[in-house]
A and B are shown apart, each in its own frame.
Chain A
Amino acid sequence: MNERVGTSVLRLTGISKVYGEGPTRVDALRPTTFEARAGEVVAIVGPSGSGKSTLLTIIGLINPPTAGSLLINGEPVITDGVAVTNLTTMRRRELGYVFQRSNLIPFLNAEENVRLALEIDGVPAGQARGRARELLESLGLAKRLGALPGKLSGGEQQRVAIARAMIHQPSVVLADEPTAALDSGRGRQVMELFRDSAHAHGAAVLVVTHDHRTLDLVDRVLEMEDGVLSEKQPD
């Protein structure tokens, strides 16, 4: 288990998002306050169009919020809707991403895709290669290191993507419907992987999912409805 586990790595205060204005105005995310700790896996469920992806892209620092403040690992990143630090550096160091598909750069093989997350932050190639191999091998991909994404199965691709999202020990990993393209067995494996990696790497993992059968694997479930986020009570 990672020594960070249990510390607060993500804090949102009054974060909201409005798309458009006038008659086309959409309140995609109502003012939201929310906290996540290292090592926990948080599932976000809710109907389509309720604002789940909007929340994830705001936390992912690729979609500026209309208002509110955001701290990552205790450092102010957005204060009252304004970026107060270099978001590119923040993305590179503190965040990891996994999406439904097209997570990987098609012209890089599995190992290179994972190494990339380290090398773009200046980790020397040799060291990056070693760490990438080690991680991929621990994910059962020892034989697929040199395979291009196009030659990997959907489940393998997602495992590589998770390795890529975790290798640089980010504070927060964001996953938007990572199991949607997988069958239920593989989907469950991916969720287990998130759970194990969250503990091993000391990251908070936020997973948007539609698959209610895997919710037993997560620590918390949040429900999104019309832009309003609420804690879902276990049923």
Chain B
Amino acid sequence: MMDLAVRDIRNDLSRFLLTAAGLGMLMSVVLAMTGIYNGMVVDATVLPDTYGGDLWVVQKGTQGPFAESSRVPALLADRVRAVPGVARTRSYMTLNVQHELEDGETLRFMLAGLSWPDDLGNALPLAQGRALRQPHYELVADRALGLPVGASLRLGRDDYTIVGVTSGMVSSSGDPLVFASVSDALRIQNDLASEALRLERESRVSRVRRSPYGRDPASLARAGSAAPLPVTAPPPVTAILVDVAAGSDVEAVKASLQGWPDISVYTIDEQRELLVRGVIDRARRQIGLFRALLVLISAIVMGLIVYTMTLDKMLSLSLLKLLGAKQRVILRLILEESLLLGVSAYLVALLIGELAFDLFPRRVLVQDMDRLALLGVILGLSIAAGMVGLRKALAANPNEVLAS
């Protein structure tokens, strides 16, 4: 039996291709939504994934540092390191920076601190350049920031040089990440002080003035070893990262830290969970819902297209029936056309994805499973739409041929 569907399509190929292209664009949006959804989850966990750390120690009662803001004293790292089973601690801090360039353009990024000298950023996915080599004035920036290796950036009162460029390192809100040593990051935080920070510093100054050592530094020497600790301390960081020694139990270390009155402790998996289920949950659900809506719209559009394609063929269908064609012939004509349309639309969607998704400002991560799932959805839609057309087609009346 000759292939009627192919011949019908060939007869008005441009119309078929246009329809497939239009449908393909719709499908590419479904694919994009899936990719954005995946990208969002990956982006959200870039920071915990990059830093690692078995346990994250944060301010008591908070779900920091991602879901909530947290501040812990920098010296906490030394106390934690003394706990049995702890191999290494690192200070963690981030800072959102909005930086005006000379040409008036604004750079938005998240500055993240690396614990010099334990962490030079060697684990970062470097695309160009190198990790940090000095404790000061060096940055590793993500490509999304748009600055090359060697570029210099004035942050606060100092000039910093970009020594390395990473790719795909963004914060959960999609801003590029820039890495500096924790001490540089703290200095920049200090120098870029907002009004609030300036007030904080002034109050610190006044605290020092109120303290006996502030008013009379010599009293410190007189008090000798009996002197209480000075009220000035290194500025706080956001969290302390704990690497548990090989052979030690993460849960056990966590349990012993949890007894401390001033901190909360999360495993890295709990941090990821807080991010995905908490920080980006609404955005994630929104995209999921939008995608479901798009699939529904595609289903309706596809059904209408196949129905119209069937309407245009009613005379031919009546003629086929008059000539005594079996139902199978009509079924194949309608379903095959619907499936060919769906598959063509799918290929258009893949092509658009291939060409366009890299140009999106945020990560669009489409995996083979997603492509397969979309193919499944499209085949399902094609068959459903084919059924709509078929209902109409089987109602074709051979008498119609005479009436025309």
Contacts and interface: CB of A to CB of B under 8 A. Distances in A.
A75 B2 CA distance: 30
A107 B9 CA distance: 8
Interface stretch (A31-39, A90-98, A137-145, A223-231): A90-98
A57 B402 contact: yes
B149 interface: no
A78 interface: no
Contacts, number: 72
Interface in B1-38: 1-2, 4, 7-8, 10-12
A119 B402 contact: no
Contacts of A91: 322-324
Nearest to A87: B324
Contacts of A57: 399, 402
Given A62-B398, A63-B399, A119-B1, A107 B324 contact: no
Interface in B308-330: 315-316, 319-326, 329
Nearest to A112: B2
B1 A107 contact: no
A182 interface: no
Main secondary structure of the interface of B (DSSP, over half): helix
B326 A107 contact: no
Contact of B316 (A97, A99, A106, A125): A106
B404 interface: yes
A107 B11 contact: yes
A235 B223 CA distance: 147
Nearest to A124: B1
A83 to B, nearest CB: 14
Interface in A92-142: 92-93, 95, 97, 99, 101-108, 112, 115-117, 119-122, 125
A113 to B, nearest CB: 9
Contact of A105 (B1, B10, B316, B402): B316
A87 B143 CA distance: 73
Pick from A53, A62, A63 the residue with the most CB of B within 10 Å. Answer: A62
A125 B326 CA distance: 17
Interface residues of B, number: 24
Contacts of A233: none
Interface string A78-90: 0000000000111
Residue among B7, B10, B315 with the most chain A CB within 10 A? Answer: B7
B11 A106 contact: yes
Question: Interface residues of A toward B: which range?
Answer: 20 to 34
Given A106-B316, A108-B7, A120 B329 contact: yes
Contacts of A115: 2
Contacts of B8: 107
A120 B320 contact: yes
Nearest to B398: A62
B216 to A, nearest CB: 102
B2, B7, B10, B316 interface centre (most CB from chain A within 10 Å): B2
A63 B399 CA distance: 8
A72 B322 CA distance: 17
B315 A97 contact: no
B325 A92 contact: yes
Contacts of B4: 107-108
B401 interface: yes
A40 interface: no
Contacts of B326: 88, 120
B243 to A, nearest CB: 70
Nearest to A165: B323
A148 interface: yes
A145 to B, nearest CB: 14
Contacts of A120: 1, 320, 323-326, 329
Nearest to A122: B1
A92 B11 contact: no
A227 B309 CA distance: 39
A104 B315 CA distance: 9
Contacts of A62: 322, 398-399
Contacts of B402: 53, 57, 99, 176
Nearest to A176: B402
| Closest 10 pairs (CB-CB, A-B) | A92-B324, A91-B324, A107-B11, A62-B398, A107-B8, A120-B325, A105-B316, A102-B404, A119-B1, A88-B324
22 contacts: A60-B322, A62-B398, A63-B399, A88-B325, A92-B323, A92-B325, A97-B323, A99-B401, A102-B401, A105-B316, A105-B319, A105-B320, A107-B12, A107-B316, A116-B2, A116-B323, A117-B323, A119-B1, A120-B324, A120-B329, A121-B324, A148-B11
Given A97-B322, A108-B2, A176-B402, 20 more contacts: A53-B402, A60-B322, A62-B322, A88-B326, A89-B324, A91-B323, A101-B404, A102-B319, A103-B319, A105-B320, A106-B11, A106-B316, A107-B10, A107-B11, A112-B2, A112-B7, A115-B2, A117-B323, A121-B324, A125-B1
